[in-house]
Amino acid sequence: MVKRHEIVTTIYIVLHFLALIAEIVVLVMYFVAPYMFHRHLQELMMGLVLDYVAEDSQDLASDVMENFMRGLNCCGYYNGTDFDYSVHFDRRRSLNGIIIYLQYPIPCCKHNERKQRAAGCPQSFTLDNSNIRQGCWPVFDALFHKYVTIIGCGWIGIVILQILVLIAAIFYVRTKLRRTWPFGLKLGQSTFEDEEADDTIMEDEEFVE
């Protein structure tokens, strides 16, 4: 009889094998056709720039884009002029009781370690007090390639480890089952052969009697 833990192990092997195939497919797709991933990321960032409203708005696009620009010290997709196409961009701002109209979003200003804006920004955006010439996509793309390569190499190592675990599990099941199928049939032996063996045993018993 096949024990319960042997059945569970067999099911684990099958599910692990299917998951491993899916992992390998995704991994191969990335290294063979990385442009597919890049294209989706580019479209995502372009959409964030086009949908940007303001740094204090509650929408997701503004919040994500603000974090990008502050964290990566950048502005827009290619540069600050990309916000000329942001139809929802709220340029009217009140700073210290004075109404101003922004040329670029406030997160495009440079910030110090205390997160204080550079002098003169956002009243006037210059190369010294802002990041209007540094787009977010080139910076993000460089970081993406750097860390995804590291993650990809680690992922390959994990896949290899999973393959070794899968092979070990297969050998474990084969050893425990002693090359026996669930219904007691041995590999390479038919039911007819089993019946012949049983008849031979019965004849031997009758002969002894």
pTM of the model: 0.60
pLDDT digits (tens, 9 = 90+) for 111-164: 988 888 999 999 999 999 999 999 999 999 888 888 877 877 887 888 888 888
pLDDT digits (tens, 9 = 90+) for 20-47: 888 888 777 777 776 777 788 899 999 9
Q: How many helices (H) and strands (E) does the chain have?
A: 5, 2
- Contact at 8 Å (CB) between 74 and 82? no
Mean pLDDT of the region 164-168? 84
Q: What is the CA radius of gyration of the chain?
A: 33
Q: What interhelical angle do 136-177 and 34-50 show, nearest 10?
A: 140
Q: How confident is the model at residue 168 (pLDDT cuts 50, 70, 90)?
A: confident
Neighbours of 109 (CB within 10 A): 23
* Predicted pLDDT of residue 14: 82
On average, the pLDDT of the chain sits at 81
